[in-house]
Amino acid sequence: MTTATVTKAPQAAAAAKQKVILCEGNEAAALGVALARPDMVAVYPITPQSSLVEHVAKLIADGRMDADIVDAEGEHSVLSVLQGGALAGARTYTATCGPGLAFMFEPYFRTSGMRLPIVMSIVTRDGITPQSVWGGHQDAMTVREVGWVQVYCETVQEVLDTTIMAFKIAEHHDVMLPVNVCLDGNYLSYGTSRVELPDQAEVDAFMGVKDVNWHVALDPLRPMAVDPLTGGSGGKGPATFVRYRKGQCRGMQNSLRVIEEVHAEWAQRFGRSFAPLVEEYRLDGADYAIMTLGSMTGAAKDAIDEARDAGRRVGLIKIKTFSPFPVEALMKSLGKVQAVGVVDRSVGFRWNCGPMYQETMGVLYRLGSESGSFLPSMSFIGGLAGADITVGHFHRVIEATEKLLSSPNVTMAIEPVWLNEKD
């Protein structure tokens, strides 16, 4: 009698080692940080991020994370401390949101300019006035042009997994840029769900050898200037400054490829996959689509399912990577439909629309220039200051977007639709 030997594929073996827990989004982010093994974290609490850094501090205090922790006197100091750590070769992490993000704006700008691969969670929050401590995307959208890679998560599981992947993306030699992992305040930060916790040894194998400061190699035995005054109108200054800016832009564009590669490796190792740049949901055979970002996507998918059951030919496009904006991927998705409605959880004041809609208009122009016809589109704004965006709201989005199909001469609705205006 012979006994068959069953050998598990690497993906199955990794999945078998994963522990199932119940946790909120802020704890999931903290656990992802611990699994990535940072050397230094710096923290300062602010609603709705506070419990995230509390979880990080507790993991360190309990010996579950071997990292130096700096409890700084404010967010400006938090990021300034981590810049020194990154320059010395440390893997570094922090989290913030809202006014805290505003307070750290100066070092936030310098971090990307110095090509430091710091990972920071933004537990997204709406603007400070009218007074609000509730979730929204206004804070992260306000800094979208400062040179950080920005990815947005839909679920608590995606928060944990993406936080780990963010370190590998940031530290890739073709990228070397800081990364924001954005999770919706309130809805994901305090939302509790089932999460699969990867095995530490498997995460270590995924992360590989740590190599953070190869481009600077700051060493007290070899003094060097960091971020010297550059630019001006004479000598080598202008060309040097252009070289820095061009390198940043190249790193941002390189990150699109690296994000795809890292997500593919994650899926192969752990058996869970997330669309790295753009996710299509029931887009095959759709005449029109709605576009979402972050945790609102769950309700949107439910509305899409109900609309499909009712005979409406509608699909969904979710943006995962917002900065750099995934132009080529989005052109492929938008090329499948005849109209699109874009739902934002923040406001673009200059254009009287949502910021994601503003970015999408540029993609629609490129798409129209190639095809000779321009997709009708409409901006929807909802979920501000913690308001719900329900399945019912998305049915309104679907119905309004469907009407664009019968209005071929209307390429852009001038006024946005404010979803919570009468709630």
Among 87, 38, 53, smallest CA distance to 203 is for 38
Dump pLDDT digits (tens) for 32-62.
999 999 999 999 999 999 999 999 999 999 9
Mean per-residue pLDDT for 394-415? Answer: 85
So what's the pLDDT on residue 409? 61
* Full-model pTM: 0.93
- Confidence class for position 278, pLDDT limits 50, 70, 90: very high
pLDDT at 6: 34
Q: What is the pLDDT of residues 109-150, one digit of tens each?
A: 999 999 999 999 999 999 999 999 999 999 999 999 999 999
Read off the pLDDT of residues 191-231 as tens digits, 9 standing for 90 and up: 999 999 999 999 999 999 988 876 766 777 888 788 888 88
Per-residue pLDDT at 64 exceeds 70: yes
| pLDDT value, residue 223 | 81
Q: Give pLDDT, residue 168.
A: 98
pLDDT score of 56: 98
Rounded mean pLDDT, 234-251? 93
